[in-house]
Amino acid sequence: MKQALREPSLDTELALPRAAPSYWRQVLPWALLSGVMTVAAVIIAALHFGETPEELHTRRFFVSLPEKMSLEVLDVSVISPDGLHIAFTGVSAEGKQLLWLHSLDSLTARSLSGTDGAELAFWSPDSRFIGFFADQKLKKIRHSGGPAQTLCDAPLARGGTWNRDGVILFGTRRDGLYRVSEAGGTATLLTTLDKSHGELDHRWPYFLPDGRHFLYVAEGPQAGQGDVYLGSLESKNVKQLLSDYSNTVYVPPGYLLFVRKDTLMAQPFDAKNLQMTGQAAPVAEQVYYDAAYGVGHFSASEDKVLVYHQGLGVEQRQLVWVDREGQEEPLAAEPGLYFDPRISPDGSRVAITIDDSGNRDVWIYDLARETPTRLTFDPAGDEQPLWTPDGLRVVFRSGREGGGLFWKAADGTGQVERLTTSANIQRPYSFSPDGKRLVFLEDNPETGFDLHVLSMEGEPSAQPLLQTQFSEGRSAISPDGRWMAYRSNESGQDEVYVRPFPKVEEGKWQISSEGGISPVWSPKGRELFYRNGEAMIVVRIQSEPTFTAGSREVLFRGRYFIGPGRHYDISPDGQRFLMIKEGGQTEDTSAPTQLIIVLNWFEELKRLVPTEE
């Protein structure tokens, strides 16, 4: 099959623009950085003599991210509208997350001070400012540097876009799109969730050229499912454009770009009449795509530049054991799209979520026999399994029958039984050792992520456990049932805390200090583990005569999958960690580390996907 965007090559054939514009003087250092020395020589000659052919050919370059830098799964590298700068948020090996800028007239990327915790960068239409989210706020900063300005509150953000009239739209995890001025102020709700269709949120907004209409993704009730809609600043009416769960952008002279699995697609679109005018066709393969968030790692400018991250595809995740020294031992399980591994109390089996073509189900993997068995089958999607303390049942969240928590016998016998009913997202986290209480998360539209407790004695009944104006989650009850570790953003970033259980109001201890998520107790309760970026941290715990936490120690580092939920577990002997790794080879990482830059690609795009004249 013909591809418009072939694999990047070091082919030296190049035709240059007649007028030798300054654009090429800015791109030239990047070509040098990519090692394309022959291409650079041709460019220099053309600039010197001023004689160029009529047509500029498409050029592609590999560019690596800064050393020891990784990208969060949500963070797409975004090219500025003028095609001269690339912004991205990167996490260092020490777990520090900053906004970075790579200008095409520079050989190196630079970080922007004052952007700690930054994520989800997007550009102003004049390419002078970068919008981003940090500390539950929407902020902006000049691309040349300087202090960052806070514009408004923006908890649990899901992307932003900026028009030429100074209007910014942004999505959040549990609501419609919000609107705010580029000067700052109070954000107002613009779009409304369609509860009749089970919409959970609106995300990844993108302004069309007229600055009044915009694209966005409506996340559906089933995990990994959503559709692309067209909205307007001046009307509540919306129109579905695509049945694809992907961020979508417009490029001239008239295309929508989006990702379908790991393939970048282009579909002709009339931006004046706001309608599709042709069929979608592939334009690039092996584009990194995260199905959990519906985000493809690509960006395109108005000035003929395409940027994307290349990956082996999210289907290549592998289960690996990692010991306390960081040594890996892959499981025999075939590579797949894995989430939320949970080891059974006796250590013989693993309950895990597997995504198969967009539908998630819970599977049981027998470690001795090295065989998987499917446990759930509902098309609405089942995920985030949790073993009961006796190992006889598995609890999971599901979108079936209006949503809620369910459980089923781990050996596959019997029927699925409902535990809770809620229109809000719920996630099971931890049982008390006696199995009488289940702590779970609920995404409340008023208070955000809260922790609730479900009594399993008699008829199951739930009540709030920890409900504040902050976001709490990923709780873990200690083996003796006296303490609860959890994550909260009350300090402005995610940190790990411990409270007494079930009387959580009687004390609180902060365990992490520079960021932390996904706490897990050691089997004897004498250690508490959590993740901070690439690092697995351990803290020694003493609970008698009072609770005290020791110093923090890094056990190992590695680029293992991080996403909503807890994507690792500890063996019953406390000596090994079951982690999820992208790729199937130990060299592969859980996030892309290389950019592909495609210059002057519009002509090739038009040849592959012609538009109506």
Quote the mean pLDDT of the chain.
84
How buried is residue 409: exposed, middle or buried, by Cβ count under 10 Å (0-12/13-18/19+)?
Answer: middle
Per residue in 226-243, is it b (16+ CB within 10 Å) or e — as a string? bbbbbbbbeeeebeebbe
65 vs 593: CA distance, rounded Å:
6
State the amino acid at position 73 in one-letter form.
V
Confidence of residue 69 (pLDDT cuts 50, 70, 90): low
State the amino acid at position 276 in one-letter form.
M
Cut 0.85: pTM above it: no
Determine the pLDDT at residue 8.
37
Provide, rounded to the nearest whole percent, the portion of the chain with pLDDT above 70.
Answer: 83
Question: Is the CB of residue 579 less than 8 Å from the CB of residue 566?
Answer: no
Cis peptide before 545 (omega within 30 of 0): yes
Tens of pLDDT, residue by residue over 485-533, are 999 988 877 899 999 999 999 999 999 988 899 999 999 999 999 998 7
Tens of pLDDT, residue by residue over 145-159, are 899 999 999 977 899
Determine the pLDDT at residue 358.
67
Residue 439's DSSP bridge partners are: 430, 453
Q: Which helix (H) or strand (E) holds 398?
A: strand 393-398
Residue 501, SS3 per DSSP: coil
Segment 358-370 mean pLDDT? 92
Is the model's pLDDT at 373 over the cut of 60? yes
Angle, nearest 10°, between helix axes 37-49 and 22-33? 160
529 vs 508: CA distance, rounded Å:
17
Is the model's pLDDT at 291 over the cut of 80? no
Determine the pLDDT at residue 316.
67
| Selection from 268, 261, 231, 267 nearest residue 246 by Cα | 261
Q: In this predicted structure, which of 11-20, 278-287, 457-466, 522-531 has the lowest mean pLDDT?
A: 11-20
Is the model's pLDDT at 431 over the cut of 60? yes
Per residue in 513-538, is it b (16+ CB within 10 Å) or e — as a string? eebbbbbbbbeebebbbbbbbbbbbb
Residue 505, SS3 per DSSP: helix
513 vs 517: CA distance, rounded Å:
11
Domains and CATH numbers, the chain: 22-311+592-608 (2.120.10.30), 315-581 (2.120.10.30)
Provide, rounded to the nearest whole percent, the portion of the chain with pLDDT above 90.
Answer: 56
Confidence of residue 117 (pLDDT cuts 50, 70, 90): confident
Beta strands in 220-348 (DSSP E): 226-232, 235-242, 249-251, 255-260, 263-270, 275-276, 281-284, 289-290, 295-296, 298-300, 305-309, 318-323, 328-330, 337-343
Determine the pLDDT at residue 350.
98
Question: Which CB contacts under 8 angstroms, 24+ apart, belong to 231-235?
Answer: 231/177, 231/190, 231/191, 233/167, 233/179, 233/190
Residue 280, SS3 per DSSP: coil
304 vs 57: CA distance, rounded Å:
11
Question: Nearest-5° angle of CA 408, CA 410, CA 414?
Answer: 50
Confidence of residue 401 (pLDDT cuts 50, 70, 90): confident
Determine the pLDDT at residue 495.
93
Segment 62-91 mean pLDDT? 77
Is the model's pLDDT at 17 over the cut of 70? no
113 vs 56: CA distance, rounded Å:
38
Segment 321-328 mean pLDDT? 96
509 vs 500: CA distance, rounded Å:
9
Q: Which two tokens stand for residue 445?
A: 């539209």
Determine the pLDDT at residue 432.
97
Determine the pLDDT at residue 97.
80
Determine the pLDDT at residue 64.
66
Segment 3-18 mean pLDDT? 33
Is the model's pLDDT at 7 over the cut of 70? no
Segment 113-133 mean pLDDT? 93
402 or 282, which is more confident?
282
Q: Which helix (H) or strand (E) holds 77?
A: none
Q: 353 φ, ψ to 5°?
A: -90, 135
Tens of pLDDT, residue by residue over 223-267, are 667 999 999 999 999 999 999 999 999 998 899 999 998 899 999
* Maximum Cα interatomic distance, the chain, rounded to a whole number of Å: 87
DSSP state of 612: P
The rounded Cα 58 to chain-centroid distance in angstroms is 30
327 or 586, which is more confident?
327
Question: Is the CB of residue 53 less than 8 Å from the CB of residue 272?
Answer: no
Residue 355's DSSP bridge partners are: 337, 360
Question: Is the CB of residue 118 less than 8 Å from the CB of residue 131?
Answer: no
Beta strands in 135-224 (DSSP E): 137-142, 149-153, 157-162, 167-172, 178-181, 188-189, 201-207, 213-219
Is the model's pLDDT at 123 over the cut of 60? yes
Q: Which two tokens stand for residue 99?
A: 């906004």
Cβ-based neighbour number of residue 137 at 10 Å = 17
Confidence of residue 47 (pLDDT cuts 50, 70, 90): very low
Segment 279-301 mean pLDDT? 88
Is the model's pLDDT at 16 over the cut of 70? no
DSSP state of 287: B
Segment 534-544 mean pLDDT? 92
State the amino acid at position 192 in one-letter form.
T
Q: What share of the chain is helix, strand, coil (3-state, %, to 5)?
A: 5, 45, 45
Determine the pLDDT at residue 488.
93
103 or 151, which is more confident?
151
Determine the pLDDT at residue 369.
95
